Structure 1
Amino acid sequence: MEDFIKEKKMKRPLVLVAVMLGMFLAAIEATIVATAMPSIVADLGGFSLYSWVFSAYLLTNAATVLIFGKLSDIFGRKPIFVIGVTIFLTGSTLSGFSTSMVMLIISRFIQGIGAGALMPIATTIVGDIYNKEERAKIQGYLASVWGISAVSGPLLGGFFVDILNWRYVFWMNIPLGILAMLGIIFFLREDIKKKRSSIDYAGAIWIVVSVFSLMFILVEGGVSIAWNSFVMVGLIGTTIIGLVLFFYQERRASVPMMPFDIWKIRIITVANLTSLTTGMILIGVSSYLPAFVQGVMGYSATIAGFTLTTMSIGWPIAATVAGKLLLVIGYRNTSLLGGVSLIIGGILFFLLTPEKGPIWAGTGSFFIGVGMGLTNTSFIVGIQSTVGFETRGVATAANMFMRSLGSALGVALLGGLLNGKINTFIENEGLADRISVDSANKLLDPHQNASLTEQAKLVLQEGLTSGLHLVYTGILVLALISFILINFMPKKENE
């Protein structure tokens, strides 16, 4: 027995490396793809579908994260992790071979399903193989994954776009994913006693149906689908019915996907609602800042990547500082500092103009990153300190689910605002018969840019500028809402 434990301990560093590689794949996805998106839409077209590339990934990620967590409890971490990486790499491969925006969106759906297994199971594996005293140190390593991926993502994205091709943004996942799988297969040892347990598939289906319908409303409403059309009425009805059936299912399920009992604890309610809004802020900055820097300011993909890198630097630094602040001023005050930083970042984006340049944009991005680092660390520590061991996993997963859901809804809502604004500019200038929202693709490609008439170029640029300003106004509003919600956090852990 002692030999087995000793052997297992010798394997733990290799398991940790494999886990960190898996987390890196999921963590880098947002920033690296965001940097490449202007080039992707310039190549494939379909600017009106811009936000769906993110929404597709985030939707399936959010919908499957709790299911994979439950499956890993039944069948073990190893097989579910391997399945998750396999699905993720399948989606990555197909994304790289995409010949149209629709194919890319479908591939991102597949990739998101796999990502739903990577983050929660990687975190769970660490909890399984390290004791309580060791986890604090290991969490520092895991936090560094976010920092490294967040810093390298925009830079790698810019490099692939400017030097190679945007397709390598997806193909780079393949060797890393294979290494992560091999590490878990060969070095992780499990002694799983399989048990019968129900899985709330119905709950997952209803939340996907309702969120998917809501995303369609937010993105396409008033653009390709008229507000007073039969299709829009059907989408609204589907959203409402899906949500009602989801709540009904969760109340009757023996093991619900989203247990409502934990929502009776005030800190969990406040943290989850705030995670929903901060998730929307995060995706709003990550998705549309490169489009502003490239399409409006006229800078390269590498420069656009730099403006996101500053957010990525601020996040891990703030998360590290938050760990020390929590012990001194508590999680509520630490969260409030994060809320203030989000507001500062929101104000900087609200005031952003093409003349202010990438340094201004990067500064706003940095403050958003600091706010995310302070609030997210405070939320997780606060939640895990409030609940017992038996509900700690589901409480943490629920918070992760809300942030993913916020990101999915945020990119749809903000994308809808952007498309609607560009469409309004085109119609007001009487150019609807010559250009469309998708013509904004050409602003993002120097070669195609030359094919636009001066009038069309001016209208599209003004529409994109005005639309992105509306997006940044939305980010500021969400930052203010987040700060208001944080004020309702309990001052003591036992409240």
Structure 2
Amino acid sequence: MLAMFMAAIEATIVSTAMPAIVADLGGFSLYSWVFSSYLLMNAVTILIYGKLSDLFGRKPVIVFGIVIFLIGSILCGLADSMTMLIISRFIQGFGAGAVMPIATTIVGDIYTKEERAKVQGYLSSVWGISAILGPAIGGLLVQYVSWRTVFLINVPLGILAIAGIVKYLDENIEKKKQKIDYAGAILLTIGISVFMVLFVEAGTNWAWNSLPVIGLAAIGTGVLALFYFQEKTAEEPMMPFVIWKQRTILIANLASFTTGMMLIGLSSFLPAYVQGVMERTPIVAGFALTSMSIGWPIAATVAGRLLLKIGYRTTSIMGGGFLLAGSSILLTLSPEAGPLWAALGSFVIGLGMGMITTSFIVTIQSTVSWETRGAATASNMFMRTLGNTVGAALLGGVLNSRLQAYFQEQGYADNLDLNSTNELLDPARRAQLDEQLRVTLQEGLTIGLHSVYLIVFVFAVISMALVFFLPRKEEN
């Protein structure tokens, strides 16, 4: 729970601090890279850590991950440029890949199927506590101390988590020579990296039908095809595709990919909208995002009980309905609607995420044995994180291209660029802007984010459709 708390604090605090970071370091065009760099390493290493935990046990893997995460957090706090911050986020993400999946796998190890549903709800409540404390503390630190402290606050939390895990988690692991799928890890890293660069740059610096975009798409597809064949022949594959043959796991993982894309669309850009367009403080922006993490544990706790009464499929369908409702609210966001409307959409999406993720994790862990539980749990979290990664890059690219198009339509192509949006995120600089220029920037950001949330709504529809393909009875 301590490890989960650290990961949850990270998720809410950084989003709240991003407008202040951009105002200080500049580089709005690199905004999505701060999330993408972290999520890339997170996505790649989740599978590696999941497999290693099956081979060597949960304790050494999660402790190693937390240590790397803390090193990255310290470097983020010391960053003096957007480039250094992005590199530090790579390191932080490299460690973060161990935290969530291994903590969740440990729960699957030490509790029975009936207990897991309830305990996963308790674990999710950690998100609620951290969600309330995270943005509140983060907003105060940003406003009265420095954005750097939002990274450094991870250090004491991480040390406490390590101490607790080392002292209390006992494991009996069979000692034998293990084979690690290094080739698979390298191919997956390259494949995802290529596609992430493609999604970030396409439509902004490169046309969608340009040679670099087509070339990167071909390279990325080829590398991921090699990864697939490598996993089919590896003695200890990093991604054991055999578990995907079970329809429950396949559908749950595909739906986790689309919900991951939704999640990043909300958490990455909502604070910027509340601060830049609605002209509210970092604390208000933080609480608008916090409402999602309040709805999440409430729904997860309820889902833990519903799973035993109405089954995982019906519970998942209810969650899909909340995702549709929440994304519909975000689609109607306007400056006049105010932060409460943004918070409502965030809260309803949180309800949907809580129900769906709890259903998926409990069901997946119940269909596999200890020897593959780490990999199976990691595969689901990998797909959600991969959705985060692709979503951050894709939605960031959509926002950037829509902003550029709007500035050109308004005749400001020579006066404004993507980094001009930095002015909206700093109240002092925003106050000094010419009225017409300020309105143009805010309207551009509103139109750009409307396009982002239109895509988020489409992802919600796809997620709902996928859930209906879940089998009516659990597979053995």
What TM-score do you get using the length of structure 1 for normalisation? 0.91
CA contact (8 A) 1:346 1:479 kept: yes
Distance verdict in 2 for CA 1:375–1:56, change over 3 Å: same
Residue of structure 1 aligned with 2:430, choices 449, 454, 477: 449
Matches within 5 A, 1:305-316: 305-316=286-297
**Is residue 2:13 matched to residue 1:35?**
no
Counterparts of 2:324 and 2:87, CA distance in 1: 35
**Is residue 2:379 matched to residue 1:398?**
yes
CA contact (8 A) 2:261 2:390 kept: yes
**Is residue 2:341 matched to residue 1:346?**
no
Matches within 5 A, 1:23-422: 23-127=4-108, 138-422=119-403
How far residue 432 of structure 1 moved from its aligned partner, in angstroms, is 2.7
The one-letter code sitting in structure 1 at the alignment partner of 2:299 is A
Counterparts of 1:292 and 1:182, CA distance in 2: 39
Counterparts of 1:309 and 1:140, CA distance in 2: 18
**Is residue 2:444 matched to residue 1:463?**
yes
How far residue 417 of structure 1 moved from its aligned partner, in angstroms, is 0.8
1:258 aligned counterpart, secondary structure: coil
The one-letter code sitting in structure 1 at the alignment partner of 2:359 is S
- Consecutive unaligned residues of structure 2, counting only runs of 5 or more, are none
Counterparts of 1:393 and 1:79, CA distance in 2: 13
CA contact (8 A) 2:403 2:444 kept: yes
Distance verdict in 2 for CA 1:79–1:392, change over 3 Å: closer
Residue of structure 1 aligned with 2:460, choices 479, 488, 492: 479
- Consecutive unaligned residues of structure 1, counting only runs of 5 or more, are 1-19
Counterparts of 1:79 and 1:264, CA distance in 2: 30
Counterparts of 2:119 and 2:215, CA distance in 1: 49
Which residue in 2 is equivalent to 1:15? none
Please, which moves more after superposition, 294-303 or 455-464? 455-464
Counterparts of 1:386 and 1:80, CA distance in 2: 23
Counterparts of 1:225 and 1:156, CA distance in 2: 39
The one-letter code sitting in structure 2 at the alignment partner of 1:122 is A
The one-letter code sitting in structure 1 at the alignment partner of 2:83 is V
Counterparts of 1:175 and 1:88, CA distance in 2: 12
Query: How many equivalent residue pairs?
Result: 476
Q: Which has the higher contact order (CA 8 A, sep 6+)?
A: 2
The one-letter code sitting in structure 2 at the alignment partner of 1:42 is A
2:443 aligned counterpart, secondary structure: helix
Counterparts of 1:444 and 1:70, CA distance in 2: 42
Counterparts of 2:398 and 2:444, CA distance in 1: 11
CA contact (8 A) 1:319 1:374 kept: yes
Please, which moves more after superposition, 211-220 or 182-191? 182-191
Counterparts of 1:480 and 1:135, CA distance in 2: 29
Cα offsets for 1:68-123 (capped at 9, x unmatched) = 23323444433333321221011101111111111111111100010111222333
**Is residue 2:474 matched to residue 1:493?**
yes
1:223 aligned counterpart, secondary structure: coil
The one-letter code sitting in structure 1 at the alignment partner of 2:45 is T
CA RMSD of aligned residues (A): 2.0
Counterparts of 2:362 and 2:441, CA distance in 1: 46
1:430 aligned counterpart, secondary structure: coil
Cα offsets for 1:269-311 (capped at 9, x unmatched) = 1111110001111111111110111111111111111111211
Distance verdict in 2 for CA 1:449–1:189, change over 3 Å: same
How far residue 215 of structure 1 moved from its aligned partner, in angstroms, is 1.5
Counterparts of 1:192 and 1:483, CA distance in 2: 40
How far residue 232 of structure 1 moved from its aligned partner, in angstroms, is 2.7
Which residue in 2 is equivalent to 1:8? none
CA contact (8 A) 1:74 1:196 kept: no
Residue of structure 1 aligned with 2:410, choices 410, 417, 429: 429
Cα offsets for 1:152-188 (capped at 9, x unmatched) = 2222221211222111110001111122223334444
The one-letter code sitting in structure 1 at the alignment partner of 2:334 is T
CA contact (8 A) 2:324 2:460 kept: yes
Cα offsets for 1:28-72 (capped at 9, x unmatched) = 211111111111111111111111111111111111112123323
Cα offsets for 1:116-151 (capped at 9, x unmatched) = 112223334445566777756654542322221222
Please, which moves more after superposition, 172-181 or 76-85? 76-85
CA contact (8 A) 2:39 2:388 kept: yes
Please, which moves more after superposition, 306-315 or 220-229? 220-229
The one-letter code sitting in structure 1 at the alignment partner of 2:385 is S
Distance verdict in 2 for CA 1:353–1:137, change over 3 Å: closer
1:355 aligned counterpart, secondary structure: coil
Distance verdict in 2 for CA 1:94–1:343, change over 3 Å: same
The one-letter code sitting in structure 1 at the alignment partner of 2:186 is I
Counterparts of 1:31 and 1:385, CA distance in 2: 30
Counterparts of 2:414 and 2:33, CA distance in 1: 25
Counterparts of 2:106 and 2:329, CA distance in 1: 40
CA contact (8 A) 1:277 1:478 kept: yes
Counterparts of 1:124 and 1:72, CA distance in 2: 9
Distance verdict in 2 for CA 1:187–1:375, change over 3 Å: closer
How far residue 440 of structure 1 moved from its aligned partner, in angstroms, is 0.5
Counterparts of 2:342 and 2:81, CA distance in 1: 31
Cα offsets for 1:323-370 (capped at 9, x unmatched) = 121222211111111111111101111111110101111111111000
Counterparts of 1:377 and 1:128, CA distance in 2: 16
Counterparts of 2:62 and 2:366, CA distance in 1: 27
Identity of aligned residues (%): 61
